[in-house]
Structure 1
């Protein structure tokens, strides 16, 4: 009964909000991130604390309302030279306000942010979130950046658009500058909290996934933050806005929200897997783009939600950003004029889901479908290759941030967002039922045994580069011990020529692939095919990975290479690696069943699950003996055959935070808390049929309520109006 014994201190669920406490968005999660440093920050912190929340602070680290710093009011010096600028010399602006630029993170800027955040430590927050350290690829032209280039590289600044080498080096510097800034802020304030208050304070970085930042052409530190002792973890900012970015599969560009989200959450899980760093997965029931209907928001929310739950190594969640815009906002009506607030059923469903998420830390997990796990290696350096000297000035100055529909962009700009080399390696496998996980290549050199959970890895250096030669020693050892490595690439990438370790000093390799092959003990001129390497295997396909997105024949060639490498590795160590093509993915996490059926897959047959389930995506927590999913549909179910307990009362799900549970001979009772104005559902497994249910608001008279008994499942459904100050529910036999 973990949902009945939730401790806020575990910080399993939370949300961010810039406004003061309000009962309409009192979601009853474990913690709240008070957003923004302002004059009323202490008041907002105090308001949420008084309502029982663990309180964190969140603020932007690459932008914010820092005009007093920019205009010289802080230290007597103007700092507009630290605004990120594009090739045209234009400041790169956050949103639409011309006085809020994205910043080059100088030492002075880091020290300014430290002083701005210090009052939050004084106010007693438990943790601080430094949101979105972002440097746009079209940046690199401001005076501050030029100065840092000369300090870092000890050579004159070069325009990033001059050569691929200049572009690559500019992006590496951008990642370094935000790494340095976060290290400086976190270290200074952790020491301050220790010295002044004798307490520990934690720092987290809410960040888009490496996949999304690369696709949207943004540079961020990502895995480099794992090397900073002052950073305690991340929030994976994956939501409908990122996952709806179109990509190309079998030559067709379109939105593939579920698949994109699955890959995005996957790289964020793998970022911290095996480390002591914490990760929360973000969901957003709407999006930054306010032009969609509630129906559209709900569909895409479910796609991202289910995609996240298929990654069982993460069980903490930011259940939404900005609940005020969800519970108080209005959006276009479906098929008509005007706007409307959140539908009552959707509000109830969201409450059911966010409280279910607090129970996802389930040690007992298993795939119920035959989805072979395939890792596709991905490095931070993918972000460094997202501008090219041959692109037009207009293209190199292009900035997309998800606040508009990407499909409405012109074709030239749509192509800039495709990032087909990555999707060419992942979608052909995922669409045929492989549980594709993007694996953080950089971590293979940081953490011993990081690759041990994988038996199959796909790699290409046509859109990213290894940042150290030691990574190849790790990969070679992994293959020789029995791994199946599939290398895909034709050597055509211009960025093989950048000044890096594989072509400097005594090394004279034309590309990092040649060094990798040398470590594997095979010829650099290897013909395409499958080769034994120790107990493992190497499959080599001399095709550019982007072709696997554009051409169905190339995608099939990739699948055949993966299958052949698995077969070769299996024969070498007498242990079967098997890939059964399928269009479905079903994972069990304790009593929860997470299921999805893929479109554009091996067939269009639906999936039917039979048993006794509670549908957690229905406002009435419907009990079903069969659930059928067509391609493109997903489900989140509670398997009643796995109800915990000894046959007594057990909570299955509720659209409230349930506390004060007590079971007696004549029935049971509990307290429920939830946002004002929402209708709650709660379903309990009971040893007998209830005869009456009484509901009372705080300090109010009890009233008999209508309830629904489902004899076949031995469960009761209770409906009541949520209240933040609690509703008392008494069930009598």
Structure 2
């Protein structure tokens, strides 16, 4: 597990100064915020050995000097995102008003001057987080001006028609794309010209699924077209993934399933590119009203869901560790608040250091059928307001007040059932369905070649270009199975777009009621009814219902599954056969990642043979077998698969950064680094049973408790890091 920090496999973000209590010993740290203390904070973390990045918000921040006109002599409050009632859309509830911004050219220039300060401070990379424009925004004077410049026509209130809403959202995505392109390109040029330094830029962003569900517009896949962007952080955590959805008529939180889909679409954002993706986890969330046990069980769900996507092996292990390891949250008995339980803190450190070892060459899965996807496009974000909706349908939801939002009457919109109605019926039956970025079909040649079955609906999104259908048609004819679900009832089919313009958008100049008609024309299906049809070497299944109907009842979900099964059978490929199961299980080298499903085809535990070490247990117990109950997840270390061939001592898991592992004639020693004030444990392969273990910490030497497991020939060590975040542990045995 020893590695150079320059690999940047794990990191975290923190706005506070360095403190020993939350020195997580990852590879890099993202110092948050540009203020008078920034340079000091950068120096503190760099002195502790970290690679230092900087993170700051691109949509919001303490930009009041700019808003008040102190930077250029003109007030800029007209650039705050504003709803139809003239109310500013603000971030948080701080005493200082912090509005979300319309990213005008003036605002972008202001940000460039602030970021220049960070470049001068010598950071190695900059993260511009959360380029967000709320769906219920689009009414400020600045946005009206941008509309006129972009469309060459007078502004239209976004709520008055589907066309106005779609165009407003498309403009919102463009504005943040433009801002990021200008900022990153200009600052890269500045760093190279002035310092001869290659500066990197990353965009921490929620998933396309979450932004659509929460009714936020962001550039998402458009960032792939910007050469100045080096990668992303997938901002997925309990707060996004516990948003309720509907499956077989039951609405509830499904954190594992939702995060599985969220991480899946973010993996797609970099698949086939050389860009970096870090998956984020958060041991708590922005909503401070949950208990530690609630945070823990949901954290475990998101970690396991992320590890089931082996295309990514870099992680942001925590945002804001200060609020985790020094904060207090409601106690289980409801009587006040309490700090993080010691066991949970130790578990978190084990997971965080294990995440740095996930770049494994050997990947094994029990899923016999791969390459099944649900298509989703950036345009899903563009139609998230009901036409002519009342004020009650325009609320802002950020995951912190679900009850208050539901009172606004937005529950149906928040459920996002048209998408989940296609994804959950397959996922719940153990089919490894992946969200697939429709926009990438025209960006990358052969983008669909890894997929055999794709589900598609234009009732919650639209294809921005007709050539997408030529690619889909060719893919089907070469042996793919396309399942289309929709009844052409979505009012957004009538927006001004290529499929209904009268000036000859097709070879015959005809127009279409919906883009589905154009797709079926390319497939030579014509006006067919529901069913499954042979097209070339492939198949097309057509379910002529709204996709949300596949979510609201068992019959709807089963109808979708039956259509998928029939289309797969029509392919006649023994390697593409429906095989339902009630779990997911994946091996990444010696690590076994598993989840047993609720609401699935069986209600029995998943059996996993040992010996394995349970990495979610701070005691790192060796288990001869594991029985994983429905709704539970596990991260295990296969002792035999990971055993070193040399027969020397080696790390199985540690709640510390392990350095200087030294093999001696009658034992071994190592340096452990980690947060102060926390219990630490580590399990090592050990060729012989120890006779003693000692801890050297804070200038003292003392015995270190240890436990021996004869069956696996491993030793569990107990120790602490001390206030200096460093300890030396020595283990001795008789030869």
Same fold, judged at TM 0.5 (above):
yes
- Higher deviation after alignment, 632-641 or 399-408: 399-408
Structure 2 residue aligned with 1:604 = 603
Q: What TM-score does the superposition give when structure 1 sets the normalisation length? A: 0.97
Shift of the alpha carbon at 1:702?
2.5
Q: Which runs of 5+ in 1 are unaligned?
A: none
SS at match of 1:553: helix
8 Å Cα contact 1:187-1:230 kept in structure 2 = yes
SS at match of 2:420: helix
For residues 167 and 397 of structure 2, what CA distance do their matches in structure 1 show? 22
Structure 2 residue aligned with 1:220 = 218
8 Å Cα contact 2:369-2:576 kept in structure 1 = no
For residues 391 and 716 of structure 2, what CA distance do their matches in structure 1 show? 61
1:464-501 Cα offsets, whole Å, 9 max, x none, are: 00111121121112111111111111111111111111
Shift of the alpha carbon at 1:371?
5.9
Structure 2 residue aligned with 1:61 = 58
Q: Does 1:410 align with 2:407?
A: yes
Shift of the alpha carbon at 1:32?
0.3
8 Å Cα contact 2:367-2:432 kept in structure 1 = no
For residues 705 and 272 of structure 2, what CA distance do their matches in structure 1 show? 49
Shift of the alpha carbon at 1:644?
4.4
8 Å Cα contact 1:245-1:406 kept in structure 2 = no
1:601-660 Cα offsets, whole Å, 9 max, x none, are: 112111111121000000111100111111111100000121142122221000000001
Q: Does 1:490 align with 2:487?
A: yes
Q: Which runs of 5+ in 2 are unaligned?
A: 506-510
8 Å Cα contact 1:271-1:439 kept in structure 2 = no
1:361-393 Cα offsets, whole Å, 9 max, x none, are: 112111135465420000000000100224212
8 Å Cα contact 1:85-1:141 kept in structure 2 = yes
1:45-64 Cα offsets, whole Å, 9 max, x none, are: 00000000000000010010
Structure 2 residue aligned with 1:692 = 692
Q: Does 1:165 align with 2:163?
A: yes
Structure 2 residue aligned with 1:267 = 265
For residues 704 and 369 of structure 2, what CA distance do their matches in structure 1 show? 46
8 Å Cα contact 1:106-1:177 kept in structure 2 = yes
Shift of the alpha carbon at 1:213?
0.5
Shift of the alpha carbon at 1:407?
8.1
8 Å Cα contact 1:455-1:483 kept in structure 2 = yes
Structure 1 residue aligned with 2:67 = 70
1:222-277 Cα offsets, whole Å, 9 max, x none, are: 00001001111110000010011111111111111111111111111111111111
Q: Does 1:399 align with 2:396?
A: yes
Q: For 1:432, which of 429, 438, 443 is the aligned residue? A: 429
1:149-195 Cα offsets, whole Å, 9 max, x none, are: 01100111111111100000000000000000000000000000000
8 Å Cα contact 1:372-1:580 kept in structure 2 = no
For residues 99 and 619 of structure 1, what CA distance do their matches in structure 2 show? 42
Q: Does 1:16 align with 2:17?
A: no
Structure 2 residue aligned with 1:385 = 383
Q: For 2:189, which of 191, 198, 206 is the aligned residue? A: 191
Question: Using a 3 Å threshold, how does the CA distance of structure 1 residues 407 and 360 change in structure 2: closer, same or farther?
Answer: farther
Question: Using a 3 Å threshold, how does the CA distance of structure 1 residues 372 and 604 change in structure 2: closer, same or farther?
Answer: farther
8 Å Cα contact 1:30-1:53 kept in structure 2 = yes
SS at match of 2:387: coil
Structure 2 residue aligned with 1:87 = 84
For residues 33 and 366 of structure 2, what CA distance do their matches in structure 1 show? 44
For residues 578 and 364 of structure 2, what CA distance do their matches in structure 1 show? 17
Q: Does 1:514 align with 2:517?
A: yes
1:523-561 Cα offsets, whole Å, 9 max, x none, are: 1x1121111111111111101100001121111110011
Alignment of 1:41-52 (within 5 A): 41-52=38-49
- Higher deviation after alignment, 474-483 or 582-591: 474-483
For residues 76 and 626 of structure 2, what CA distance do their matches in structure 1 show? 59
Q: What TM-score does the superposition give when structure 2 sets the normalisation length? A: 0.97
SS at match of 1:626: strand
Structure 2 residue aligned with 1:581 = 580
Structure 2 residue aligned with 1:594 = 593
8 Å Cα contact 1:372-1:579 kept in structure 2 = no
8 Å Cα contact 1:132-1:205 kept in structure 2 = yes
1:285-344 Cα offsets, whole Å, 9 max, x none, are: 011011111111101111111111111101100001000000100111102412111111
- Higher deviation after alignment, 344-353 or 383-392: 383-392
Structure 2 residue aligned with 1:706 = 705
For residues 590 and 279 of structure 2, what CA distance do their matches in structure 1 show? 20
Shift of the alpha carbon at 1:592?
0.4
For residues 110 and 705 of structure 1, what CA distance do their matches in structure 2 show? 56
For residues 522 and 361 of structure 2, what CA distance do their matches in structure 1 show? 38
- Higher deviation after alignment, 600-609 or 55-64: 600-609
For residues 709 and 219 of structure 1, what CA distance do their matches in structure 2 show? 55
For residues 427 and 391 of structure 1, what CA distance do their matches in structure 2 show? 28
- Higher deviation after alignment, 342-351 or 659-668: 659-668
8 Å Cα contact 2:393-2:408 kept in structure 1 = no
8 Å Cα contact 2:396-2:405 kept in structure 1 = no
8 Å Cα contact 1:567-1:576 kept in structure 2 = no
8 Å Cα contact 2:397-2:405 kept in structure 1 = no
For residues 455 and 279 of structure 1, what CA distance do their matches in structure 2 show? 25
Structure 1 residue aligned with 2:250 = 252
